[in-house]
Amino acid sequence: MHLAIHSGVPHFAEPQHVGGPLVEPETRERFHTLADSAFDRNYLTNDGPLCRRLEEEVARRHQVKHALLMVNATIAQLVLMRSMGLGTGGGEALVAADTFISTAHTCEWVGLKPVFADIDSRTLGLDPQDMLNSLSPKTRVIIPTHVFGVMADLPTITRLAAEHGVAVLADAAHAFDCDCGGAGPGSFGVPEFVSLHATKFFSTIEGGAVLTNDDALASEIRQQRNFGYSPDGVIINSGTNAKVTEISAAFGLASLPALEERKRMLKEVREVYLQAFAGTPGIRVHEVDGAGRNNYRYFAVFIEEVFGAERDAVHQAIHRENVLTRLYFSPGCHRTAYFVRQNGGTPTPLPRADAALGSILCLPTSFVGIPHREAAARVAELLLAIRRQAGSVQAWWNEEKEKTR
C-alpha cells in the first residue's frame, strides 16, 4: 500500500474523526417533531417538560433516583462540587492524571488545588494504592475517571476514602450506559457526572448530567443550577445558570431509541479492529470488556516499541490519510504546560500514566460516507501498512521534526 506520506494521496477522501457526532436519519426526524412540540408550547427552557422527561429516562436507564441535566459536564462538575460544599475552605483535590483537562480545571475553579495521582494500567482509571500514597491532610475530595467507559475501581476507592474521611465524586463523562458488575454511574454511593457532548455515545449536543441517589444533594443541585431559586421561586441559595434548553433535551429524547442499534454498530467496528490487530506485535488493544458493559464509543490502542515507529510518527502518518486519530488524554494533566507551571516547573513523574499516555492512539469508531465495517477494515489495514513500513514512516517523521526545529 502506498502511504500518503510518500504518495501525497490520502486513503480517505473525507476526514474520519474519532468523535464525529452519531445522528441517525430517524433521530433527526424524531428531533424535528420533538423540537416542534417545544415551539408549539412556546416553552423553550427553564426545566421544561422535555427536560424533565429526559431526566426521568436517563435516571431510569442508570437505575438511580436522580439525573440532573446541565449545560455540559464541566459545569455539571462545578455545580456538583459546590453543592457538595467543596467550594469553600480551599484544600486539595486528588485527580487521576489520565483525564480530560476540564476535570482538573474545575477543581481550581472551586478553589481546590489538583494533585495528580497515577493510574491502573489496565483500566486507565485512578490506582487505589497511588491514591493512598498521594493523600494529604489537605485532601478534600478524590475524583477518579472512568476512561473510555471502563469503570475505575470505585468500591475500593470509596472504601479507602471513607476510612480517611475524604469525599469522592467520579468523572463518568464517557460512561453513559456503562457499568461494572451491573453497577453504573451514580450507583456506588457517590455522585458521578456524565458528558452529553456531541462527540459522546449519547448526546444533547452540549450537555452533562449528575447521577445520584442522594435526595438532599439533588435538591441542592437543582437550586444551584437555577440561580439559587427554590421550587417556589424564592432565592434561598447561591447559584448560577446551568439550565438545559428544551431543544437540547429534544435531541437527547430523539436519540434514546437509537442507542441499542448504535451500540451494536460500535461493537461491530470494535470487532473488525480486534480481528485485524489480533496477535500483531506492537499494537496492544485497550480492553473494555470483561468486568461490565461498555458503550464502545472509544477504541484505543497502545503503540509499543516493537511496532518500529514512535506513536507520534504513526499518529501523524495516519492523519495524512485523513484518519484523524486522537491521543486521549496525552500528555496527562500533570504534564500540561499550565499544571507544570503551577507545580513550580517540574511535573511529578507518574510512571504508569506516562507509559500509557506516551503510547495511546484512539481510532475512529464512526465514519462519514462509508459503511462502518468497511471503513474500520480500511483504517485497520492502514495501521498495519504503517507498521509494515515502520522504518520509512519513522524516517519521514524524523525529517518532519527536523523541519520545525
Residues near ligand T4K (CB under 6 A) are 17-21, 72-74, 99-100, 102-103, 145, 171, 173-174, 195, 197-199, 208, 324, 326, 328
Of residues 148 and 396, the one with the C-beta less far from ligand T4K? 148
Give the DSSP per-residue string, 50-61.
Answer: HHHHHHHHHHHH
Residue type, 166: V
Least distance to ligand T4K, CB of residue 290, Å = 20
Least distance to ligand T4K, CB of residue 326, Å = 5
Rounded Cα distance between 363 and 384, Å, is: 13
How long is the chain? Answer: 405
Q: Provide CB contacts within 8 A for 338, sequence distance 6+.
A: none
Compute CA distances 213 → 31, 63, 180, 190, whole Å. 29, 9, 17, 8
Least distance to ligand T4K, CB of residue 185, Å = 12
Rounded Cα distance between 371 and 376, Å, is: 9
Of residues 196 and 309, the one with the C-beta less far from ligand T4K? 196
Least distance to ligand T4K, CB of residue 71, Å = 8
Least distance to ligand T4K, CB of residue 92, Å = 19
Least distance to ligand T4K, CB of residue 147, Å = 7
Least distance to ligand T4K, CB of residue 18, Å = 6
Rounded Cα distance between 208 and 51, Å, is: 12
Rounded Cα distance between 202 and 262, Å, is: 9
Least distance to ligand T4K, CB of residue 21, Å = 5
Of residues 72 and 389, the one with the C-beta less far from ligand T4K? 72
Residue type, 188: F
Give the DSSP per-residue string, 28-50.
Answer: HHHHHHHHHHHHHHT--SSS-HH
Phi, psi of 311 (to 5 degrees): -55, -45
What H or E segment, with its residue span, contains residue 223?
helix 215-224
Q: Provide CB contacts within 8 A for 254, sequence distance 6+.
A: 27, 28, 29, 30, 31, 33, 34
3-state secondary structure of 169: coil
Yes or no: say if 80 and 109 are a contact pair by the CB < 8 Å rule. Answer: no
Least distance to ligand T4K, CB of residue 234, Å = 30
Of residues 59 and 362, the one with the C-beta less far from ligand T4K? 362
Q: In what order do the strands lie in the sheet with 92-96?
A: 113-117, 92-96, 139-143, 167-168
Of residues 109 and 229, the one with the C-beta less far from ligand T4K? 109
CB atoms within 10 A of CB 336: 17
Percent helix, strand and coil across the chain, each to the nearest 5: 45, 15, 40
Of residues 10 and 392, the one with the C-beta less far from ligand T4K? 10
